[in-house]
Chain A
Amino acid sequence: MNENLFTSFITPTMVGIPVVVFIIAFPNILFPNPNRLINNRWTTIQLWMVNLILKQMMMMHNIKGRTWSLMLISLIMFIGSTNLLGLLPHSFTPTTQLSMNLGMAIPLWAGAVVMGFRHKTKASLAHFLPQGTPIPLIPMLIIIETISLFIQPMALAVRLTANITAGHLLIHLIGGATLVLMSISTPTAMITFIILIFLTILEFAVALIQAYVFTLLVSLYLHDNT
């Protein structure tokens, strides 16, 4: 059981070929291009959802912030679809790997911050000191604000990794427990099975919510800095 629990998180290679590249590129097939006026049902559903998300998320940005729309929408589609595909049995979820989430979080956060420093230098530096602080507290507060700024990309990446990994681990563990309990005492196994069902529903929600949170926070950093 020890070795088995974490083997679903190792990056899959097959006779030395890193298959993980294909697994990361796989959700791309599920989003076909809309090349007609009236598309097929699958494309129509996706376009409707993209419109909904776009209006909701981009409402609070000004013109400069809205140039990031394509990036943010692709981000939420990618993270959402990857997390949902990870709920299928035996599949590998790339967002459980910290390396990939750091690779997504750090460039986006750094882009927003650097953009803010370039275009609105005074306002970006002013973020470090909230209004109305008593004068003796100022040095400590600037240090704290700097730390909280630099922790933002780490928090983005680690939040996504930890949530998805923890959910997958819980499903593995409770599923294993249900299987073992079935031969020992069936009512307990039924209770565990109901817990498993609730957990799976939660995981579906978590998959989508994590995508949303990631994108929302990036857009928040953007809003601060445009």
Chain B
Amino acid sequence: MASVVPLKEKKLLDVKLGELPSWILMRDFTPSGIAGAFQRGYYRYYNKYVTVKKGGIAGLSMVLTAYVVFSYCLSYKELKHERLRKYH
């Protein structure tokens, strides 16, 4: 079951299912590690959708849609009462 490549350097898609808990525990959960993760995620999205030669509206609207979904999740508790029923 031991893998040839050490566990720490594998990307997520190469990790086998049995090794997943130890892979997660090995990630860097320090504040600078988390900040690095956010930075990498931001630049990955930014370089793919915004910093292109003929960027369209897709880059911005995906962010805004995610924001709307996020706000919907936040206010779900108050919105639960507004489902379609005959009597409120």
Within 8 A of B (CB), among A1-54: 4, 7-8, 12, 14, 19, 26, 29-30, 32, 40-42
**Bound state CA distance, A184 and B78, in angstroms?**
26
Within 8 A of A (CB), among B30-88: 42, 46, 50-52, 54-55, 59-60, 63-64, 67-68, 71-72, 74-75, 78-79, 81-82
Chain B contact residues: helix, strand, loop or mixed: helix
A90:B75 contact, CB within 8 angstroms: yes
Which one, A4, A7, A32, A88, contacts B50 given CB within 8 A?
A: A32
Q: Mark A57-87, 1 if CB is under 8 A from B, else 0.
A: 0000000000000000000000000000100
Which one, B46, B54, B71, B75, contacts A32 given CB within 8 A?
A: B46
Closest to A179 in B: B82
Chain B interface residue count, Cβ-Cβ cutoff 8 angstroms: 21
Contact status of A90 and B59, CB under 8 A, knowing A4-B81, A32-B46, A40-B50: no
**Bound state CA distance, A124 and B75, in angstroms?**
49
B63:A30 contact, CB within 8 angstroms: yes
Contact status of A7 and B59, CB under 8 A, knowing A88-B64, A90-B72, A92-B71: no
A4:B67 contact, CB within 8 angstroms: no
Does A186 reach chain B (CB closer than 8 Å)?
A: no
Chain A residues, CB < 8 A from B51: 40
Closest to A36 in B: B51
Chain B residues, CB < 8 A from A146: none
B82:A89 contact, CB within 8 angstroms: no
Does A91 reach chain B (CB closer than 8 Å)?
A: yes
A42:B60 contact, CB within 8 angstroms: yes
**Bound state CA distance, A32 and B63, in angstroms?**
13
Within 8 A of B (CB), among A75-116: 85, 88-92
Closest to B81 in A: A4
**Bound state CA distance, A7 and B11, in angstroms?**
44
Closest to A92 in B: B71
Chain B residues, CB < 8 A from A29: 42, 63
Closest to A3 in B: B78
A40:B55 contact, CB within 8 angstroms: yes
Contact status of A12 and B68, CB under 8 A, knowing A29-B42, A40-B55: no
Which one, A7, A41, A42, contacts B75 given CB within 8 A?
A: A7
Contact status of A85 and B67, CB under 8 A, knowing A30-B60, A32-B46, A40-B52: yes
What would 15 A/B residue contacts be, using CB atoms closer than 8 Å?
A: A8-B78, A12-B71, A12-B74, A29-B42, A29-B63, A40-B51, A40-B52, A88-B68, A88-B71, A89-B71, A89-B72, A90-B72, A91-B67, A92-B74, A92-B75
If A14-B74, A92-B71 are given as contacts, then 19 extra A-B residue pairs at C-beta distance below 8 Å, sorted by A number, are: A4-B78, A7-B78, A8-B78, A29-B63, A30-B60, A30-B63, A40-B50, A40-B55, A41-B55, A42-B59, A88-B67, A88-B71, A90-B68, A90-B71, A90-B72, A90-B74, A91-B71, A92-B74, A92-B75
